[in-house]
Amino acid sequence: MRAFEEYIEGAREVTLSNGNTVEVPPLTWGKELKIYNILAKIFSKLSISTDESGNPQLDETQVYSFMTAFANDVSEIASVIFNKDKKWVEANLTSRDIVEFVVPLSLRIFRKLNLGLSNAVTELSEGMTETP
């Protein structure tokens, strides 16, 4: 089982690609909010248009800019997740740890909060259109 699945299943220690086991503290609301804000800042730089068929279109330059921003900020996200400083993250995690643990976990948090906020807005707007 991969570290991400182990963590989602409730493990608080995960095995990194180098074989070392490290504790991953529970993610508090403050940590989840920090991760969400980092990702929201990165995603806000993307401007997705659609072609005549409705297929999403991204400018190649924009994709590189997005990838660079994400690569630079993912160490900060890992730092929040592992409760370690950026030097520790860069000295102890590999690209495999980032791609297989940090990225899926951070995107899961982002999706969870987006879904919750979207549902709340929908319920609020539906409640405002109902007549008493």
pLDDT per position as a tens digit, 17-61: 999 999 888 888 999 999 999 998 888 877 777 778 877 777 777
Contacts of 92-100 spanning 24+ positions with Cβ under 8 A: 92/16, 92/18, 92/20, 92/22, 93/16, 94/16, 94/17, 94/18, 96/17, 97/3, 97/16, 97/17, 98/74, 100/2, 100/3, 100/4, 100/17
Q: pLDDT digit string (tens) for 63-117? A: 777 788 788 899 999 999 999 999 999 999 999 999 988 998 898 888 888 888 7
Domain ranges of the chain: 27-129
Token pair, residue 41, equals: 């800042």
